[in-house]
Structure 1
Amino acid sequence: MGIQDIIQGKKQWRAHTARVRALPPDYQIVYKEIQKYFFKVGPLDLADGPLLPGLVDFFEEGVAADKGVLELIGTDVAAFCDGLIKDSPTYADVHQESCGGKPGTAV
């Protein structure tokens, strides 16, 4: 990764956070909680994948349709997040496999 890639990535992240700040306050709160959840769970493609930008797109459509954020995602934010990443490998899966177990099983 070169310096230009880092600069470009930083520009993209700033544009992304500007879109989040343009959302209504209730959407911003839920977005930040989802983001924290994803940072803890750790889907492998979170940093450069379409997940977070797609979520902002989804929220912007909800705002345009004059819907509340909980109308879009429901009251269980964690269940909504789990549904988004159910088929995505996570860092926990990689760690579990490196320990010799199958993902989702106790060792």
Structure 2
Amino acid sequence: MKKIFAIIASILVASTLLLGCVGQGTDNTKKMTELRIGYQPSTHQIAEMVAMEKGWWQNDLKKYGIEKVTDYEFPSGPPEMQAMLGGQIDIAYVGATPPIPAIDQGLDAK
């Protein structure tokens, strides 16, 4: 019984070590260096506007490799979500409803 346990344990350890080597090639993913933020001109989103004006986004995100932060103004949530679906912005600050149809259309939102 001890011999069987030792063999199974050895196989599990070897499998774990081999699986740890899978996919450790070169990283071909493109690094994000620019962050594009969508916002709406309302007092509800004043924090984004102040952070942009003061340069806080740029300073705080520099350590993550973000070299440029650009914000884009939208009149309401639905056009902002369409811009996200089209890949024109990376972050959208909207209410609860606008993301629902965008997620239904395939937006991978968090």
Q: Please say whether Structure 1 and Structure 2 have the same fold, judged by a TM-score greater than 0.5.
A: no
Greater fraction of residues in helix: 1
* Larger radius of gyration between Structure 1 and Structure 2: 2
TM-score range, shorter chain: under 0.3
Greater fraction of residues in strand: 2
Q: With structure 2 as the length reference, what TM-score do the two structures score?
A: 0.25
